Structures are given as C-alpha cells and as structure tokens.
Amino acid sequence: MKKVLMLSGLTLMLAACGSNDDTTTPIQSGNDTTNNTVTNDAGTDNTMTNDGADNGMTDDTADNNMSDDAAAGDESSTFAYGVRDFDLDIELSDGSDYQYDYDDENGNIEAEIEMEDGSGSETGSSGAAAQEEIESMLNALQIVPSTDPDDAMMQIVDYLELNEADITEFDLEIEFEDGERLSIDR
C-alpha cells in the first residue's frame, strides 16, 4: 500500500511540474527598443525587436486599404462614395453659367469645366486640370443618393461661393458607382 501511495504522489508531483522548457525573459523598459526572447522546446531562440526592421512578421495594426470598388458606399465624401458620372449646370440671374462634367468609364476619366460670365466671356478647363478641380469638389461634398436635394444644392452653392438668390437654374445629375442616382432640376 505504501508503494501505491508513494507512486501516486510521485506521478502527481511530476505532472504538476510539467515538462515545458519554455522560458521568457522579461520585457525591459526605459529604452526605445524592446526585445522579447522566447526559447521553445527545440532550444531555438525566437527574438522579436521593434526596431523597425522586417522580421518576417505581419503587422496586424496596419491599415486595410480597400480598392476603389470596395470603398463604394463610404459616405465621408461624394468622391469616396464613388461617382461614375457628375453633371452640374448652374445659371445665374446676371447671365453667368457654370458647367461641370465628369465621367468615369472604368477608370477612363473625362472631365470638362466651362464658365461663362454675364458679359459672354468664357473660361474653362478640360483633361487633368478639370479632373483635379472636380475631384477636389467631390471630396469636399458629402452628397450620396439619400441626401436631401435641398441639402445637396446648398453644399454645392456653398462650395462654389454662390448666392442662392442669384440662381435661376440648377441642374444636377450624379450617377454613383453602385448604380444609384441623384437628380435635381430647379
């Protein structure tokens, strides 16, 4: 009986102690780099350093960049939501006319801006300059398919620094990447 009790006690003691040889060195603080050393069962030293060097590990805190198609639906700006076609025509009581046209056909972008003042003098741009100006406007606006038409109009009027009372005609057509549309004709 003594042998059984002694053998049971020894087995219990060995099981409690375990056979895991992993050791960990405590993290040192007070300097710019932190080294964590872990020795595994095979005796291999696994050292991780946050010195910015590529150690083959992946950064789980990295931003997850989405493609333009995946970003469709982002309401932080009209441009981020995804615009396929943008047509804006504003006429003012003094005869001024503002026309903005932007078409994105599978990444092939055509853009044109035409402005005519009340005296008949015309200015405008096309190509990259017009694309940059229109995309800048679309990034500043927060117009999505569900935006109230009055709110959409006011955002554009404010962006272009126009006086709402001077507007005689306001036509806006936006086709979004998700197929939704917003039309305003006043």
Which bin fits 18, alpha (ψ -120 to 50), beta or left (φ > 0)?
left
pLDDT of 172 over the 60 cut: yes
Query: What is the rounded distance in angstroms from the CA atom of residue 184 to the CA atom of residue 101?
Result: 15
What digits encode the pLDDT tens for the residues 71-124?
445 668 999 999 999 999 999 999 999 999 999 999 999 999 999 998 888 999
pLDDT in tens, 23-75: 544 454 444 444 444 445 555 554 444 444 444 444 444 433 333 433 445 66
Using the structure block, give the residue that is written with the tokens 């398919």: 145
| Straight-line distance from the first to the last Cα atom of the chain, in angstroms, rounded to the nearest whole number | 101
pLDDT at 18: 55
How far are the Cα atoms of 8, 75, 91, 92 from residue 169, in angstroms, in the given order? 95, 27, 5, 7
Give the pLDDT confidence score for residue 118 in this predicted structure.
82
Residue-wise pLDDT tens digits, 113-136: 999 998 888 999 999 999 999 999
Tens of pLDDT, residue by residue over 133-167, are 999 999 999 999 999 999 999 999 999 999 999 99
Q: Secondary structure of 25-66 in the HEC alphabet?
A: CCCCCCCCCCEEEEECCCCCEEEEECCCCCCCCCCCCCCCCC
pTM: 0.60
